[in-house]
Structure 1
Amino acid sequence: MSGFAALLTAREIPPTIVDGVREHIASRGRHGLSTETSGPCVLLHSALWTTPESTAERQPQRHTNREFWLTADARIDNRRELRTTLHGHVRHPLETDADLILASYECWGQRCVDHLIGDFAFAIWDAERAELFVARDPCGMRPAFYATTENGFVAASTIQSVLAVIDGSPTIDEDYLIGYLADVTPRDRTIWNGIRRLAPGESLVANESGTRVWTYWQPDLDSHDLSLTETAETVRRLFDDAVECRMRTTDGVSSQLSGGFDSTTVTATAARFTTDLQAVSLIYPDFPGTDESAHIDAAAAHIGLDPHRIDGGKLAPSDPSAWSTAFGEPLYSADAPDTAACLEAAAASGRSVLLIGGGGDDLLYGSETATFDLVMQRRLVSAYRWAANDGLSSGAATAYF
């Protein structure tokens, strides 16, 4: 993942603030750190090249013929479709993912996000309209935070970059803290008052009139008239496409293999697309009740892999205070050391991409928009069940509903 930031202000931004923002996106990329200024907007980018096309990118990037500037943390997956659709209709190259985002903005403006498939968070400074456009992908795979401060508007990949623009000490959002402790964290807020998180599937525009945020994507909950066989074939095709998209890399792919259904399916699918797949597995030999070694061995033998095994019982536990200091927000996952260890193993073998088979059910059942959509469609029983599947008891689901 790369890092991006954009600052918009009517006055000159002190160099110390720009330096602070740059410092806190630097850790997200090791292939270059750049800054560009266009009128009242300063754009910053920290590059991590993980695809063959990304090595040709130099962001922040200006459109060839228009006064559009892009800084992005993005991987666009429907490249072939976009190139076919945009060819002959835009004046910008269609080679890199950054090119495709800028060309899509040229063609469709703020509706460009309706045509982009992939993992992305980006900011486009439209100097012709004097406004900053920011968007985040529907699944929220790339982070984006923003705030209106004494020094102007800022959007960035990290909370720490936003904090660098704020004068004085920010205050804690107590409502968010309560939600965090109750495990019902608001999707669009952060622990800090005034600093917002762009929610998955949201866009915003910032200009001299203020900031406007809207949702451009919601789950499609319409019924589909498919047989069981057709449904299975459709799911398999879409799943294959999703995994294959992530195989487009400069230096190989690793996949976390736990022996569970999610990770095994992802790893087995990835192995069909490459002969150079590294599997990474966490084992717990000293904890027989939680050790999945037997499942891992069976899955690995079936797929034809020899996983790199990490003894999870010897990993140091997370330090919540150190995490909060480093990232500017609370620790959200107790298994962060496990994920970090798998990432380190992938990096040690020279691979920039690690596939992790988890979170799909959380993404769907954790979506508040799904409950509201069902209510608006008057599918009240389904909405109640969805709320209950969100981890709520029957009584809590009733109260929530």
Structure 2
Amino acid sequence: MCGIAGIIGEGIKRSEIEKMLVSISHRGPDARGIYCDRGYAVLGHNRLSIIDLSHAGDQPFSDPTGRYHLSFNGEIYNYKELKLEIGSRYIFKTNSDTEVLLAAYIIYGKNCLEKLNGMFAFAIWDSREKKIFAARDRFGVKPFYYSECHSKLIFASEIKAIRNIRSSGPNEKVWSNYFCFGSYGSPSETFYKDIDQLPAGYCMEYKDFSLSIKKWYDCPSRIKDISNNYSIEEIKENYLELLLDSIRLRFRADVEVGFNISGGVDSSLLLALVNNFKSNQKVKAFTFYTGDKQYDELPWVEKMIGLTGNPLEKIKLSSAEVPQLSKLLSDIQEEPFGGIPTIAYSKIFERANQSGLKVLMDGQGMDEQWAGYDYYNSLVDQVIQGTGKSGSFRPDVLNSGFQDLAKKPEYPTPFESSLQNLQYRDLFYTKLPRALRFNDRISMAFSTELREPFLDYRLVELAFSLQDSLKINKGVQKYLLRKIIKDFVPDNISEAPKRALQTPQREWLGGELKVFVDENLARLENSCFQSWFDHDLIQKEWSNYKNGKNSNSFFLWQWINASLISTLVD
């Protein structure tokens, strides 16, 4: 897990790549490297050592001929199997997955992507052809940002690295859509002008100042090719076998591995499977809580841990910490993030770092593949979990010219099933992309790698392809998954309904954090974003909130987010 950066084109300065790497040094504190092809390209890399801890695995990594040079962020979990498949066609010098990735590209070309089971964003410079090839994993677990300017292509793992060498103002269309519809942009957009991201499952080539981008992972086609001529028992057996294999692959590391747990079905299953795989040792678990019994999942967590005996680190978030951590996370994210739950989650990675752990696992991805969110039951066009009928947005506070920039996002509907179309939207356009972005930034801010075993593409494709009644049956969501996990977790966990990841955000913003809200609304009124809003209407909404109209706090958090991020743009 690392930070990558590069500049391709004319007028390249080594000092620029050095500035980029310094700005994302948190992503890889163990080693730093730079490769220069004078007059054509420069690649940079910050390394977080997870597999093959020797300096032989440092990057940018070059093949023995000196033609190809790789800067890679992520993990190729099936690197051992792929190395065996490559065999004697490449002479390996290290035990790293990095070298396996480069060898796979040399031997298979772009088709190597289909062979990779992992999370990755990488760039390979061909010094003979003078071209760059870059790719991002199927679901976009690892980020890849880029910008074209002045006959150059600039790319990096985080936006700040690009903004460190070229200025960029706000992308007002994306911001307007965020305030009006809760959209975080399309798969290729960011909240910054002229800075884009390579979408999940896409690759790119850049040569002679020409950029071409292509989709390499076509999820709908793969789903439609999966046969459903299996009995329920066969499906359960196949899915469980893949689950166990996914856990096995994601324990491949030359450092200690821990995991995050909440009280829900997904992380409880993760706990059970981790202990099933590591039966001879008790892997450390981490969870957060706030001290509010209405929201905390600590009782469920402690009940599960009481059955397994895993060491448990309980990390408390207090309301007093929110102002400082909100500013820290805004600097880390650079774009809007999910609120106080994201702040609480970030403290887990801080504690893991303090404990000397470099790798954590979590249960991300089950809800999208098994239709676990509340709105799947009613098939409503909703993108925010757990808000019920309450309005999440306040577009009326936007000035008309700015509001006119917003256009309600429309998403592809490649399936006959309305449920599958909602799942597809959440996998590639809404829920999962933003959750992965939040989680990548907060984990890497504390130099910690996050692995998501439930996002193994084999699991996602199998579950996604199943008929609707196996996902939602008589109102019970994750229906077949609950049957699969009954042998692993207690009935009161396997049968529990989905709960949104919660903190007392609504209560804190209207109570202990009122001064914090006041300060941010005042900053927003004097920020570079001030012309977007009618600030009198914002104050009216804020007064209504304090007077009890506070069934939803998302719109309030949007304004706080904008206030905090405005300091990065000013």
Alignment of 1:281-292 (within 5 A): 281-285=287-291, 287-292=292-297
**Which residue of 320, 323, 329 maps to 2:329?**
323
Shift, 1:341, TM fit = 1.1
The residue number in structure 1 matching 2:244 is 240
The residue number in structure 2 matching 1:256 is 260
The residue number in structure 1 matching 2:450 is none
1: CA distance, partners of 2:414 / 2:53: 38
Alignment of 1:16-55 (within 5 A): 16-39=15-38, 40-52=40-52
Alignment of 1:171-182 (within 5 A): 171-181=169-179, 182=181
- Bigger helix share: 2
Contact 2:288 2:345 in 1 (8 A): no
Report which stretch shifted further, 85-94 or 333-342: 85-94
Shift, 1:362, TM fit = 4.1
Does 2:18 correspond to 1:14? no
Alignment of 1:192-341 (within 5 A): 192-219=192-219, 220-222=222-224, 223-274=227-278, 275-285=281-291, 287-313=292-318, 316-317=321-322, 320-341=326-347
Report which stretch shifted further, 43-52 or 239-248: 239-248
Alignment of 1:178-193 (within 5 A): 178-181=176-179, 182-185=181-184, 186-193=186-193
**Which residue of 350, 355, 361 maps to 2:361?**
355
Contact 1:3 1:47 in 2 (8 A): yes
Report which stretch shifted further, 122-131 or 352-361: 352-361
Shift, 1:308, TM fit = 1.5
Does 2:98 correspond to 1:98? yes
- Check 1:307–1:252 CA distance in 2 against 1; reply closer, same or farther (3 A cut): same
- Check 1:237–1:31 CA distance in 2 against 1; reply closer, same or farther (3 A cut): same
Amino acid aligned to 2:275: A
Does 2:414 correspond to 1:373? yes
Render the CA deviation track for 1:345-385: whole Å, top value 9, x for unaligned: 2222221111122343247878x9994432xxxx2655666
2: CA distance, partners of 1:98 / 1:300: 36
Render the CA deviation track for 1:321-359: whole Å, top value 9, x for unaligned: 543444432324542222221112222222111112234
Shift, 1:251, TM fit = 2.8
Amino acid aligned to 2:223: L
Contact 2:282 2:310 in 1 (8 A): no
- Check 1:359–1:308 CA distance in 2 against 1; reply closer, same or farther (3 A cut): same
RMSD: 2.7
Helix, strand or coil: the match of 1:272?
helix
Alignment of 1:375-390 (within 5 A): 379=416, 381=418, 386=423
Shift, 1:307, TM fit = 1.4
Contact 1:323 1:330 in 2 (8 A): no
Report which stretch shifted further, 251-260 or 13-22: 13-22
Contact 1:371 1:386 in 2 (8 A): no
For these two proteins, the number of residue pairs brought into alignment is 383
2: CA distance, partners of 1:346 / 1:102: 31
The residue number in structure 1 matching 2:154 is 154
2: CA distance, partners of 1:93 / 1:380: 49
Amino acid aligned to 1:300: I
Does 2:72 correspond to 1:72? yes
Shift, 1:163, TM fit = 1.4
The residue number in structure 1 matching 2:392 is none
**Which sections of structure 1, spanning at least 5 residues, go unmatched?**
393-401
Shift, 1:62, TM fit = 0.8
Alignment of 1:162-173 (within 5 A): 162-166=162-166, 169-173=167-171
Q: TM-score, normalised by structure 2?
A: 0.62
Helix, strand or coil: the match of 1:358?
coil
The residue number in structure 2 matching 1:395 is none
Report which stretch shifted further, 326-335 or 29-38: 326-335
Render the CA deviation track for 1:36-95: whole Å, top value 9, x for unaligned: 102411010100012346764021111112500001112111123212221133355573
Shift, 1:316, TM fit = 1.9
Amino acid aligned to 1:373: P
Report which stretch shifted further, 85-94 or 192-201: 85-94
- Check 1:154–1:346 CA distance in 2 against 1; reply closer, same or farther (3 A cut): same
**Which sections of structure 2, spanning at least 5 residues, go unmatched?**
372-382, 384-408, 432-570
The residue number in structure 1 matching 2:134 is 134
Contact 2:411 2:425 in 1 (8 A): no
1: CA distance, partners of 2:54 / 2:366: 27
Render the CA deviation track for 1:137-186: whole Å, top value 9, x for unaligned: 112111110111226111111101111232xx312111211233322221
2: CA distance, partners of 1:389 / 1:196: 20
- Check 1:151–1:363 CA distance in 2 against 1; reply closer, same or farther (3 A cut): farther
- Check 1:214–1:332 CA distance in 2 against 1; reply closer, same or farther (3 A cut): farther
Contact 1:71 1:122 in 2 (8 A): yes
Contact 1:65 1:92 in 2 (8 A): no
Amino acid aligned to 1:199: P
- Check 1:209–1:242 CA distance in 2 against 1; reply closer, same or farther (3 A cut): same
Shift, 1:197, TM fit = 1.1
- Check 1:386–1:23 CA distance in 2 against 1; reply closer, same or farther (3 A cut): closer
Render the CA deviation track for 1:216-238: whole Å, top value 9, x for unaligned: 11323224322111111111121
Helix, strand or coil: the match of 2:111?
helix
- Bigger strand share: 1
Report which stretch shifted further, 42-51 or 220-229: 220-229
